[in-house]
Amino acid sequence: MLQDKKILIFVSGSIAIYKILSLIRLLRKEGALVRIIATKGALKFITPLSFETLSNTPLLHDGNECWAYSFSQDSTTNPPQNHIGYAKWADIALFAPITANSINKLAHGIADNIYLSSALALPNIPKFIAPSANTFMLANHTTQASLQLLESYGYQVIPSVYSSLACGDIGHGAMADIETILFTLKRACYTHAYWWKKKVIITGGGSSEAIDSVRCITNHSSGLQACNLALALYYLGANVQLISSKVPISLPHDIKIIQVKSSSDYEVAIKKALQSYQDSIQSNEKIYLFMVAAISDYIPNKQKGKIKKQDIGQTMSLELYENKDILASLYAPNLIKIGFKAECDSMNAKAHARNALLKKQCAMMCLNIINEENMSFGNTDNAFYLITQDSEKYIQGTKLEVSLQLCFHIQTLGLE
């Protein structure tokens, strides 16, 4: 996802700087190209050799800026080792950790070191700042005003978190965790005009229906496909609410997660999510519902307490009742429904999917044919037929890849 993206990391003197070594390693693993610019304060914590070993590129700092270079060299892959060369090279700039001192200087265009001179020379690219400072220094009116000023200039703040700080205080000021920063950088690469700020609801996992107070019936749905779809839509810039019984992977904090169990829990949560979006809707704005969850078709009447073996005997019969079709029951003039259907009967699967498409009034049905080659439950890979009233498209890949393919395909359908 970050393959060949040129990421320039600005590090200043904070105890959180040790986290950046892990970030550099992860970025390199994702295929990104990484260069680092450090303040004098940063080099009190981490030696240049550590940065250069992990990034496999020269560290730029006040003591090694160089203007003696060949004008014929390729600056896109081997930029001049000075503040202009490194700034022009970058696709994305990340200031992490950034101290209160650097925040205030950066906001007011002060360029009294190579770190700030390079920042001033950055072109119009995505710029992120991840503050790390004592709670009172960060909350100071001057620092807060500087953060607001930087946001008005186009910088995006990755908020600090509430934690026990190195100074002994407890409060906001700890730098965001590396996973959050990585999610944010990936979103910068994928943000898409069509999905930007779109209102999206995704259901995932499988419903769990109580037999008695301790037993239930459920299904094999792992929640992985729904989580990857939520991640894909987050990367593309959508506002995402995920309603799921299972959340098997870490997701960005900006994705609102509502955990549920029974089919009735799903219905209540979906309606609340729809209402929350309807309350803030603009005229003609659409809401997208991706019904990935495997909701029970049949449910038992829950028995009070625990059913005892001695009361049942050697054979237990369980009477089930047809469940409400939640997806078919949902309607709003601005609601676009995308259904998901799993079939084992490959001969008739597409016909069943088209019938469901019409019955549930969906814009698209994502058909997953379960067989020996595509046992998708819990696997990292998946394959779908994307079926509409007049088209069909086959997609396959990792669950994140098929999620992105699905989102891009929806854009071509002109559903708005």
In sequence order, what DSSP letters do the residues of 379-394 get, joined into one string? -SEEEEEEE-SS-EEE
Of the residues 167, 227, 344, 362, only one is catalytic, namely 167
- Answer yes or no: are the C-beta atoms of 116 and 110 closer than 8 Å: yes
Longest dimension (CA), the chain: 89
Q: How far apart are CA 42 and CA 88, in angstroms?
A: 22
- Answer yes or no: are the C-beta atoms of 11 and 19 closer than 8 Å: no
- Amino acid identity at 332: A
Q: How far apart are CA 257 and CA 241, in angstroms?
A: 6
Q: How far apart are CA 266 and CA 260, in angstroms?
A: 6
Helix segments in 249-360, DSSP class H: 263-278, 309-312, 326-329, 349-359
- Segment (H or E) for 83: helix 83-89
Secondary structure class of 109 (helix, strand, coil):
coil
For 124, the token pair is: 């119009």
- Answer yes or no: are the C-beta atoms of 92 and 185 closer than 8 Å: yes
Q: Does 167 qualify as catalytic in the annotation? A: yes
- Residues labelled catalytic: 167
